[in-house]
Amino acid sequence: MPENLLYAQSGGVTPVINATAAAIIETAREHGQRVGKVYAAAEGILGVLGERLIDTDSICADDLRRMANSPGGAFGSCRYKLPAPEDGQREYARLIDVFRAHDIGCFFYNGGNDSADTAAKIARYGREHDYPIRCIGVPKTIDNDLAVTDNSPGFGSVAKYVAISILEASLDVRSMSASSTKVFILEVMGRHAGWIAAAGGLARRRREDPPQVLLLPEIPFDAERFLAAVEQSVKSNGYCSVVVSEGLRRPDGGLVSEGSATDAFGHKQLGGVAPLVADLVQRKLGYKHHWAVSDYLQRSARHIASATDLEQARAVGRAAVELALAGESGVMPVIRRLSDQPYRWEVASAPLSEIANREKKMPRKFISEDGFGITEAARRYLAPLIRGEAFPDFRDDGLPDYLRPDFATIEPRLPGFEP
Amino acid sequence: MPENLLYAQSGGVTPVINATAAAIIETAREHGQRVGKVYAAAEGILGVLGERLIDTDSICADDLRRMANSPGGAFGSCRYKLPAPEDGQREYARLIDVFRAHDIGCFFYNGGNDSADTAAKIARYGREHDYPIRCIGVPKTIDNDLAVTDNSPGFGSVAKYVAISILEASLDVRSMSASSTKVFILEVMGRHAGWIAAAGGLARRRREDPPQVLLLPEIPFDAERFLAAVEQSVKSNGYCSVVVSEGLRRPDGGLVSEGSATDAFGHKQLGGVAPLVADLVQRKLGYKHHWAVSDYLQRSARHIASATDLEQARAVGRAAVELALAGESGVMPVIRRLSDQPYRWEVASAPLSEIANREKKMPRKFISEDGFGITEAARRYLAPLIRGEAFPDFRDDGLPDYLRPDFATIEPRLPGFEP
């Protein structure tokens, strides 16, 4: 009797997480003699606890292909951290009940550091409680902060979006700068690490190119030095283009965006570091400015996904099923870089214990000495990740042919459960 | 002796204004026996006044093709409104001096309502002062508020960007809504008219589709009704996706984004209506929210330009030169719609006097009765404008192959001038 598989998405979604999901389902379908059904949990681990499962057999090949090229999390994701098994006996017991009720042999948890930890804990709990469920972590995060893997599926596409967006907006502000806007500020994600903001630096080929200033969480914000850099760029280039990370920090370690009572700004602000930095430029230098906050747009811009990223998102999905079929558990497929130029990579596997709860920071050697740019080492690392275009199909109406998911969940076999 | 032509960009740039510029230069090159040089003013009319002229013969065919597919204004634009001839004798005399010094027979002014007015005034002044310069207005504005023309080149691409962006971000928020973000708010441009925000409505095919709420400048903001609509959508769909125009107005006519002291909000805010609306949702409904401000990103997103828009941007450029060669002056090539379905259009010409200083508002019949959506009539009008993709070429490094302009200006023949 072939075993069933269960897939769940966790945490913030990415432009290519559905490519991973589709690869898992497709690879499982290729092994129909060994795999029974592939279920997907609605809304991540909350859907497993609530026994809200989608039978992916109901998704035709054509919809699966469209799903693979659609942003968001097709099955729904959630931000819910399972307690430790000591504190969450009830939750873990329920997970095992659900696995058992649906003959789940392997659980795929598609997420970041937290999810790797959760997957490892579930595997351990199952072993200790007479239901040896195999758990495979599947990497995903736009933040690129997963340990062990060379990079995280999802990041490359966001990096490409940010590099293109800042290049485009800079060409705009440049053309207006003689008599109008002189400073443009783009806020991007990355609360703890500057990977995404650093990717903006890929648009800068020559010293005079935009973005002339990056503001990274790794470098405490020094308003005076920042203003000097902006002024310098306006004087030499006529304008200044800035990428600021939402995670930019003050010297005291606090987030600049939460600095409602700081001396540096003195304004109450409803979130967003870009308007604060823009206001500072206005008040201290008197330059007309514009600012943008890309927020979810960057995280869902499947229309401009990186082909490299998409291929890796698919590859980790395929590898996850292959690991499961080889009887592995407590592991995650990871990207291993073989060379920068030409860029070559392969999928390896790593124990979840080496990944769980760690955070890959951007190394200092990736940040230029003045703190406002990236180094050649960073460029060598980042550049391959945004290579190649992978446009979705478009409909006649000019919009991408995205799947707008509307999956039914199967009839529950267990009583309800409130986590 | 063939005459020379002079081209200048005016006001805010668009993703396709360079396609118009390139079409003018290319069409002129095809008529080499009748046209001498095509000059482009650096930074718009300021560059004409300052005699900062670019000899476009220096742009090779390959760079011209790349320029045509690059965002921003390749020659530079400006926000500078010429005074009326009565008040600005000195400026007008200077323009004529520059035209005369460079044997300019026709001046092409690529802009919106203001520029149409300026072009008409220059033509009149030249006639009255013994230098009968021909002036052709060339339409461009993302705001779509130009009179007479069915639509404005530049708008279709921004409309496409906004419709795709809100669709993508909505798929993202939808997948997180069970346990996290429930409301997403995208701020778009359009200070006086809701054309751009209305384009977001093109992503909504069925009632339950996003964006469920549009906030347009045409409909005074009613916080209670807005909150009820958001709550309704969250209850039926699990989430709510909102597009808000920067020009959203309070019932008293003031901009919501400048409502620092209003009862409705009570927060000091550094620009941006999205964070204000988001804060209202948070305080009154308690929903977790995200917001984005697309600002220049929407106006420069050449990577996702509308093929229809690009074709029209080229067509008005070609037509402008043909009008000039036919001896016309004081006119603008305009888009005339022949049918909605199939979409057919042609380029006609209209007197600048019919276009100057008028503003095409969005008709009330384009806005749904509740004020939060668009009607079928609006959809029929808007839908063709975002059709077709026109991706730029990409380089091996994953970035679009945009021209990063660096044009030298010719040696001035006149003494300096300070406007």
Across the interface, do B168 and A80 touch by the CB < 8 Å criterion?
A: no
Across the interface, do B167 and A292 touch by the CB < 8 Å criterion?
A: no
Contact A192, A369 (CB under 8 A): no
φ/ψ of B37, rounded to 5, equals -100, 150
Give the mean pLDDT of B137-155.
97
Across the interface, do B267 and A272 touch by the CB < 8 Å criterion?
A: no
Gyration radius of chain B's alpha carbons: 23
Contacts of B203 in chain A (CB under 8 A): 399
Across the interface, do B272 and A269 touch by the CB < 8 Å criterion?
A: no
Instruction: Give the nearest chain A residue to B297 (CA atoms).
Output: A169
- Tell whether the model's pLDDT for residue B275 goes beyond 60: yes
Contacts of A302 in chain B (CB under 8 A): 168
Instruction: Report the alpha-carbon distance of residue A376 to residue B194 in Å, rounded.
Output: 45
Question: How much is the pLDDT for B270?
Answer: 61
Q: How far is A54 from chain B (nearest CA, A)?
A: 14
B155-300 has the same fold as B3-141+304-357: yes
- Tell whether the model's pLDDT for residue B158 goes beyond 50: yes
Q: How far is A363 from chain B (nearest CA, A)?
A: 23
Question: How much is the pLDDT for A140?
Answer: 97
C-alpha B312, offset from chain centre: 13
Amino acid letter, residue B407: F
Question: How much is the pLDDT for A340?
Answer: 95
Question: How much is the pLDDT for B259?
Answer: 56
Question: How much is the pLDDT for B135?
Answer: 97
Q: How far is B12 from chain A (nearest CA, A)?
A: 7
Across the interface, do A168 and B43 touch by the CB < 8 Å criterion?
A: no
Question: How much is the pLDDT for A266?
Answer: 42
- Tell whether the model's pLDDT for residue B280 goes beyond 60: yes
Q: How far is B130 from chain A (nearest CA, A)?
A: 31
CATH superfamily, domain at B155-300: Phosphofructokinase domain (3.40.50.460)
Contacts of A179 in chain B (CB under 8 A): 43-44, 46, 78-80
Across the interface, do B272 and A272 touch by the CB < 8 Å criterion?
A: yes
- Tell whether the model's pLDDT for residue A265 goes beyond 90: no
Interface with chain A: mutation pick from B54, B181, B270, highest number of A CBs within 10 Å: B270
* A204-215 per-position pLDDT tens digit: 999 999 999 999
Q: Which has the higher per-residue pLDDT, A200 or A270?
A: A200
Contact A143, A199 (CB under 8 A): no
* A166-183 per-position pLDDT tens digit: 999 999 999 999 999 999
* B184-242 per-position pLDDT tens digit: 999 999 988 999 999 999 999 999 999 999 999 999 999 999 999 999 999 999 999 99
Question: How much is the pLDDT for B2?
Answer: 84
CA distances from A171 to A236, A284, A345, B231, B300 (A): 16, 24, 34, 40, 8
Q: How far is B391 from chain A (nearest CA, A)?
A: 9
- Work out how many CB contacts closer than 8 A connect A with B: 247
DSSP B408: P
Max Cα-Cα span within chain B: 74
Across the interface, do B70 and A171 touch by the CB < 8 Å criterion?
A: yes
Question: How much is the pLDDT for A270?
Answer: 61
Max Cα-Cα span within chain A: 74
Asked if the B3-141+304-357 domain carries CATH number 3.40.50.300, the reply is no
Nearest to residue A304, comparing CAs of A206, A162, A186? A162
Contacts of B15 in chain A (CB under 8 A): 168
The mean of the pLDDT values for chain A is 94
Asked if the A3-140+305-357 domain carries CATH number 3.30.470.30, the reply is no
Instruction: Report the alpha-carbon distance of residue B334 to residue B147 in Å, rounded.
Output: 9
Percent of chain A, pLDDT > 70?
97
- If you search the block for the tokens 């109450």, which residue do you land on? A268
Minimum-distance CB partner of B164 among A77, A292, A400: A400
Contacts of A18 in chain B (CB under 8 A): none
Instruction: Give the nearest chain A residue to B265 (CA atoms).
Output: A270
Cα four-point dihedral sign A172, A177, A179, A182 = positive
Contacts of A402 in chain B (CB under 8 A): 167-168, 171
Minimum-distance CB partner of B295 among A291, A388, A400: A291
Q: How far is A66 from chain B (nearest CA, A)?
A: 13
Across the interface, do A389 and B383 touch by the CB < 8 Å criterion?
A: no
Percent of chain B, pLDDT > 90?
89
Contact A111, A332 (CB under 8 A): no
Instruction: Give the nearest chain B residue to A302 (CA atoms).
Output: B168
| CB-count exposure of residue B393 (10 Å: 0-12, 13-18, 19+) | exposed
Catalytic residues of A: 143
Amino acid letter, residue B35: V
Question: How much is the pLDDT for B419?
Answer: 81
Contacts of A279 in chain B (CB under 8 A): 270
Interface with chain A: mutation pick from B293, B385, B387, highest number of A CBs within 10 Å: B293
Contacts of B259 in chain A (CB under 8 A): none
Interface with chain B: mutation pick from A293, A343, A403, highest number of B CBs within 10 Å: A293
Across the interface, do B398 and A306 touch by the CB < 8 Å criterion?
A: yes
Interface with chain A: mutation pick from B171, B186, B207, highest number of A CBs within 10 Å: B171
Tally helices (H) and strands (E) across chain B: 13, 11
Instruction: Report the alpha-carbon distance of residue B131 to residue B123 in Å, rounded.
Output: 9
Give the mean pLDDT of A77-106.
93
Instruction: Give the nearest chain B residue to A206 (CA atoms).
Output: B404
The mean of the pLDDT values for chain B is 94
Across the interface, do B291 and A291 touch by the CB < 8 Å criterion?
A: no
Contacts of B79 in chain A (CB under 8 A): 176, 179-180
* ipTM associated with this complex: 0.97
B97 is known as an active-site residue: no
Instruction: Give the nearest chain A residue to B72 (CA atoms).
Output: A172
Contacts of B75 in chain A (CB under 8 A): 175
- Tell whether the model's pLDDT for residue B252 goes beyond 90: yes
Instruction: Report the alpha-carbon distance of residue A197 to residue A143 in Å, rounded.
Output: 10
Minimum-distance CB partner of A168 among B180, B300, B389: B300
Q: How far is A275 from chain B (nearest CA, A)?
A: 6
pLDDT band at A259 (very low <50, low <70, confident <90, very high): low
Within A326-375, where are the H helices? 352-355
Which of B114, B117, B143, B150 does the annotation list as catalytic?
B143
Instruction: Give the nearest chain B residue to A163 (CA atoms).
Output: B399
Residue A207: how many CA atoms within 13 Å on its side-chain side? 4
Question: How much is the pLDDT for A263?
Answer: 36
Contact A131, A106 (CB under 8 A): no
Interface with chain B: mutation pick from A81, A297, A403, highest number of B CBs within 10 Å: A297
Amino acid letter, residue A245: S
Q: How far is A259 from chain B (nearest CA, A)?
A: 14
- If you search the block for the tokens 């001839």, which residue do you land on? B85
Question: Domain extents for chain B?
Answer: 3-141+304-357, 155-300
Instruction: Report the alpha-carbon distance of residue B234 to residue B221 in Å, rounded.
Output: 20
* B347-359 per-position pLDDT tens digit: 999 999 999 988 8
Minimum-distance CB partner of A303 among B46, B304, B404: B304
Q: How far is A333 from chain B (nearest CA, A)?
A: 24
Minimum-distance CB partner of B293 among A175, A292, A387: A292
